[in-house]
Structure 1
Amino acid sequence: MTDGTRSGGPDAGAPGLTGGASAVVVGGGLAGITAALALADAGVRVTVLEGRPRLGGLAFSFQRGALTVDNGQHVYLRCCSAYRWFLDRIDATALAPVQNRLDVPVLDAGARPGRRLGRIGRTALPVPLHLAMSLATYPHLSLAERAGVGRAALALKGLDPADSALDAQDFGSWLARHGQSARAVEALWDLVGIATLNAVAGDASLQLAAMVFKTGLLSDPGAADIGWARVPLGELHDRLARKALDSAGVRTEVRTRVSAVSRNADGRWSVQLPGGSVDADAVVLAVPQREAHDLLPEGALDEPGRLLEIGTAPILNIHVVYDRKVLRRPFFAAIGSPVQWVFDRTEASGLADGQYLALSQSAAQDEIDEPVAALRARYLPELERLLPGTRGAGVQDFFVTRERTATFAPAPGVGRLRPGARTKAPGLYLAGAWTATGWPATMESAVRSGVSAAGAALGALGRPRDHLLELFEEAA
């Protein structure tokens, strides 16, 4: 069997690479793509094996008639240094730009007309003054609530996200102890927290919440500026990612399911496939935690059952195509409504006439399995309450995408369950947003995990890590 190539199956006899270190990355999501690029850039011969017919994991696109549809809306922040590195590495930075300055329109469905629109934004002043004007003029909170938010923010700034004791507490209880009203939680803390953590404050680890708010809002004036893809996600995470992998000499195989991973007598690894196997010096399992649990050989983790204790949380995505333009902003957030965040995806989808809005509904445990008809009956009237332009507009299409296990659940105690990149089996590494990156389940966490796994593998292989040093020090 030749290093890094399959034996048996339809590719048997294909020329393989020989000599030098080799690695197999199981999983072609952001974590796996990142690990593969980082390994290949250090001269390792890499094979990526992905069971789906495409790369990109849970951030992908598909066709619906003439529309190119993202399975869900994904954004990142300026502070997401690893994902920004990833975009640069696949030559996609210009396709997913960041706002010049944080600006989030917030519509209140229940407010009287003159107070419906508020904004969360920043100035160029240093932290925390950069948010002071936005908070002082935020119409969805009373003056006393705004002052209370400021005091809670200062208290939050004093927390250390590296303190594991915070992981045992929930964010909602901490907010209550710091005088936050139910309205303040809804109109501000959960507005941000649900979108980034995929959980309401009461269900979220204080440690993860502290990390999100300190890093995103209280570290640098521009940290929370929002970036998002102006093209379909498949253009970034599949086409351009595959082009980068090809250019780096990575062999990529899709529609290829891995059934087992085992260590050979010579200390190398064998990855079993339906039609053969691949041998390599190192293996990165960049798959969801339950799949990783099933593939891990005995003894690779002290308590592998902990992976099965990491819960999952769903995200529901609602897609509406109108026969005319009904929204003039690129996106907005909503309160006082089941609607959470709404994005204009018209241009990115290729829609020629009308307007296509995508609603991203996180922490959607109560709605994830509801029939489309019930969701249509609920959300179309809500959009009419929020957007007067929808009244009288024709709905040309209404459909739903569901990610039932979109992220790991950021519940209190999850920190002790998340493993690092290294296992007890030499040459076997873990990657995925669910691993111990210190971040919630975001694209940033996925990329950081891939960097950590690649860095650990390169160290064991005696390969240079200079190209990852700055990023790896942040992500490891």
Structure 2
Amino acid sequence: MTAAEGSRARRAVVVGGGLAGITAALQLADAGVRVTLLEGRPRLGGLAFSFRRGDLTVDNGQHVYLRCCTAYRWFLDRVDGAELAPLQDRLDVPVLDVGGDRPRLGRIRRTALPVPLHLAPGLAAYPHLSLAERASVARAAFALQRLDLTDPALDGTDFATWLHRHGQSARTIEALWDLVGVATLNATAPNASLALAAMVFKTGLLSEPGAADIGWAQVPLGDLHDTLARKALDSAGVRTEVRTRVGGVSRADDGSGWHVDVDGERLDADAVVLAVPQRETHALLPEGALDAPDRLLEIATAPILNLHVVYGRRVLRRPFFAALGSPVQWVFDRSHASGLTDGQYLAVSQSAAQDEIDTPVPELRERYLPELERLLPAARGAEVRDFFVTRERTATFAPAPGVGRLRPGARTRAPGLFLAGAWTATGWPATMEGAVRSGFDAAGAALSALGHRRQPPSQEAE
């Protein structure tokens, strides 16, 4: 580094204003780097955002996090939003089964006992499995604890095969493993890498008693991921530009930095973080940045379908529940968060929705309104004021067996160019936690390359 270089503030451009990009920008700025954040959409937040529909503020889909999501909890703290997305005191998931002669309510819950005993009383009382099936779950949980998450062989096996080898029946997979796994992985057990599934269950259920306690936003997601995030970025000195498309990223002629081309402007930077989806990243990558850049195009995506129903009266007394024996997966009460004061607004979250992502709204309405009435007797005869659908066709990367070898790390072969996004090699599935962790990784690598000795703030969340 020359004396002139050492005397000026280092500059970074972050491309993409989702959780990964916001995190990278904040951590770089906190370390004294001059940061410009570029986002093509008119708002920040990536795929976890809000929009207006009439008098309501609606999230595009329901997003939750767990107590073990230390990186996302850091994010909430950093944008002063933790109080707006509180955690449960203790894990408690109502599970309503309508597949039998009569509806039956059970609960997945924990106690304060040490791991793994914290789940034993809840499992013993879980009515949706037989006594033998509950015993088999305990044996499989102990086997999960023994898995080495660093073993690359796990990524080549699907979760269903492993579950069957460990005595799990089809009913056990439906009523427990997939109940959790589909929501966190966005894939059923046959389509999920054992490495990612084991990470979810070991970290969330078998690491510490409170690890799986659930948190969710009590305000629109846009308040957290756009409004508060932008305020934090402004306070950190980040220049944030929305509605700004990046046309290209190239090395400076003298090799000393980078050029980022945007609408009518060329930005110079010492470091660039690409925090956009894998296909967009592939299009922006300079030649030679990755050994096998086309592997990014092999990382498939998986959709999530969200159904939104506004009733004329209250039909659900709980904040959320999961369903069995029905095409409905998870239902959340979003009335207060949306600003609804009369009636009730329910959000139905349908993960791994490949079969229905393109189904017309009238067909979805005809299928799901009767199902909600079957699950919620109070909905029978209730006025349906609104029914609408949001579709995220590329909501997550598909966590299929073998995906691990396709996910690149934060560093590239091009000095000063870094990657972020939930699809990168974080070890996590495509969650808000994974996105924030990828921002940590990219910022940490960039700070190291820029010669910053300060430990990146990401280490506080590990």
TM surpasses 0.5? yes
2:343 to 350, 354, 364: 354
Task: Quote the residue 1:395 is aligned against.
Answer: 384
Task: Quote the residue 1:145 is aligned against.
Answer: 133
* Residue identity opposite 1:321 in structure 2: V
- In 2, the alpha carbon distance for the partners of 1:262 and 1:313 equals 31
- In 1, the alpha carbon distance for the partners of 2:150 and 2:59 equals 34
Deviations 1:218-266 (A, max 9, x none): 0000000000000000000000000000000000000000011000123
- In 2, the alpha carbon distance for the partners of 1:96 and 1:283 equals 31
* Residue identity opposite 1:309 in structure 2: E
Shift of 1:467: 4.6
**In the alignment, is residue 277 of structure 1 matched against residue 263 of structure 2?**
no
Task: Quote the residue 1:415 is aligned against.
Answer: 404
Task: Quote the residue 1:4 is aligned against.
Answer: none
1:106 to 85, 95, 99: 95
Shift of 1:163: 1.1
- In 2, the alpha carbon distance for the partners of 1:424 and 1:75 equals 35
Deviations 1:163-191 (A, max 9, x none): 11100000001111111111000000000
Share of identical aligned residues, percent?
Answer: 78
Deviations 1:403-449 (A, max 9, x none): 00000000000000000000000000000000000000000000000
Q: How does 1:370-389 map to 2 (within 5 A)?
A: 370-389=359-378
Deviations 1:125-171 (A, max 9, x none): 00000000111010000111111111111111111111111000000
- In 1, the alpha carbon distance for the partners of 2:23 and 2:263 equals 25
Q: How does 1:430-445 map to 2 (within 5 A)?
A: 430-445=419-434
Q: How does 1:244-255 map to 2 (within 5 A)?
A: 244-255=232-243
Preserved CA contact (<8 Å) 1:455 1:465: no
- In 2, the alpha carbon distance for the partners of 1:287 and 1:63 equals 25
1:27 to 13, 16, 29: 16
Preserved CA contact (<8 Å) 2:444 2:456: no
1:49 to 38, 59, 84: 38
Instruction: Classify the secondary structure of the residue corresponding to 1:449.
Output: helix
Q: Which runs of 5+ in 1 are unaligned?
A: 1-17
- In 2, the alpha carbon distance for the partners of 1:124 and 1:179 equals 28
Task: Quote the residue 1:121 is aligned against.
Answer: 109
- In 1, the alpha carbon distance for the partners of 2:227 and 2:339 equals 17
Task: Quote the residue 1:220 is aligned against.
Answer: 208
Preserved CA contact (<8 Å) 1:284 1:428: yes
Preserved CA contact (<8 Å) 2:155 2:196: yes
Task: Quote the residue 1:75 is aligned against.
Answer: 64
1:179 to 144, 167, 175: 167
Instruction: Classify the secondary structure of the residue corresponding to 1:435.
Output: coil
Aligned length: 455
Task: Quote the residue 2:3 is aligned against.
Answer: none
Instruction: Classify the secondary structure of the residue corresponding to 1:466.
Output: coil
Task: Quote the residue 1:237 is aligned against.
Answer: 225
Instruction: Classify the secondary structure of the residue corresponding to 2:371.
Output: helix
Shift of 1:469: 5.6
Preserved CA contact (<8 Å) 1:42 1:464: no
1:301 to 290, 299, 315: 290
Q: RMSD of aligned C-alpha atoms?
A: 1.0
Task: Quote the residue 2:179 is aligned against.
Answer: 191
Preserved CA contact (<8 Å) 1:160 1:210: no
- In 2, the alpha carbon distance for the partners of 1:55 and 1:319 equals 22
* Residue identity opposite 1:355 in structure 2: Q
Task: Quote the residue 1:11 is aligned against.
Answer: none
Instruction: Classify the secondary structure of the residue corresponding to 1:252.
Output: strand
**In the alignment, is residue 64 of structure 1 matched against residue 64 of structure 2?**
no
Deviations 1:347-403 (A, max 9, x none): 000012000000010000000000000000110011011111101111000000000
Preserved CA contact (<8 Å) 2:443 2:456: no
Instruction: Classify the secondary structure of the residue corresponding to 2:408.
Output: coil
* Residue identity opposite 1:83 in structure 2: Y
- In 2, the alpha carbon distance for the partners of 1:208 and 1:351 equals 38
Instruction: Classify the secondary structure of the residue corresponding to 2:13.
Output: strand
Deviations 1:255-299 (A, max 9, x none): 000011000123210001121211100000000000000000000
Preserved CA contact (<8 Å) 1:167 1:414: yes
Higher deviation after alignment, 364-373 or 267-276: 267-276
- In 1, the alpha carbon distance for the partners of 2:434 and 2:454 equals 20
- In 1, the alpha carbon distance for the partners of 2:66 and 2:179 equals 15
Instruction: Classify the secondary structure of the residue corresponding to 1:376.
Output: helix
2:334 to 338, 341, 345: 345
Shift of 1:111: 3.0
- In 2, the alpha carbon distance for the partners of 1:465 and 1:119 equals 46
1:260 to 231, 248, 258: 248
Task: Quote the residue 2:4 is aligned against.
Answer: none
Shift of 1:20: 1.1
* Residue identity opposite 1:337 in structure 2: S
- In 1, the alpha carbon distance for the partners of 2:227 and 2:8 equals 29
**In the alignment, is residue 428 of structure 1 matched against residue 413 of structure 2?**
no
Q: TM-score, normalised by structure 1?
A: 0.94
